[in-house]
Structure 1
Amino acid sequence: MWLVALALQLASCTFIDGDTLRCGAERIRLADIDAPETGSGARCDAEAMLADLAAAALARELEAGGLVIERRARDTWGRTIAVISRDGQSIGERLIDQGVAVAWRGRQHDWCASPPD
């Protein structure tokens, strides 16, 4: 397993959506959550609205700084799969606590059929 922990250089990191960010040329997918899809990826208006909230929540986490990234793998789209944390708590857990993401269960959550649990 590919594990490396580094302090995240926030000057070059921006959010793409609620569970993906870009740091320079690297795209990073949060390993421990599923967030709603943005834009044309949203399957209903409720998912699109929640996706905007998830993206804003991730942006706030990035702006707060002090993040550590633990790289785990690469997915089929070339993204780094990683857990990002602050003070020992996963940013993914923080997004779940805010109700804008769910724990990753090996497949995408159906945001149109049910809200986050």
Structure 2
Amino acid sequence: MRLLGGGIPFVWGIDTPEIGSHAKCIKERRLALIAKGRLKELLEERGLRIEIKGIDNTPAHRLLVNIYREDGSEVGAMLLAEGFAREWRPRHKNDWCRR
């Protein structure tokens, strides 16, 4: 499953730091663990609503989703606003190791 953050498949969404061996540096790995913890907190809430928007074109064929809380806020957009994610657009790479 891949969060879109309220975005539109293949047009824009959110990008989160990579975890484990996919991370390009220790800073990215640490940020990923913090972001994962925050996402876990949000996903433990009751009353979440999932909207499936499509399927990505990777070999894993992950679902592209927006997840909404009871108050209508979108989980991925919250991660973006809280600094745990960055905007994603095609052909744009976020460098989590800089900044």
The TM-score, its normalising length taken from structure 2, stands at 0.80
Instruction: State whether residues 34 and 108 of structure 1, in contact with CA within 8 Å, keep that contact through their aligned partners in structure 2.
Output: no
Q: Which has the higher contact order (CA 8 A, sep 6+)?
A: 2
Matches of 1:97 and 1:47 in 2, distance apart?
Answer: 18
User: 2:3 maps to what in 1?
Assistant: 30
TM-superposed CA distance for 1:49, in Å, is 0.5
Pairs aligned (count): 87
More strand by share: 1
Instruction: State the 4+ residue runs in structure 1 displaced beyond 6 angstroms.
Output: none
TM-superposed CA distance for 1:54, in Å, is 0.5
**1:41 is the counterpart of 2:19:** no
- Unaligned runs of 5+ residues in structure 1 are 1-27
Please, what is the CA RMSD of the aligned residues? 1.3
TM-superposed CA distance for 1:96, in Å, is 1.4
TM-superposed CA distance for 1:97, in Å, is 2.1
TM-superposed CA distance for 1:89, in Å, is 1.1
Which string of whole-angstrom CA distances, capped at 9 and with x for unpartnered residues, describes residues 4-35 of structure 1? xxxxxxxxxxxxxxxxxxxxxxxx11023110
Q: Report percent identity of matched pairs.
A: 41
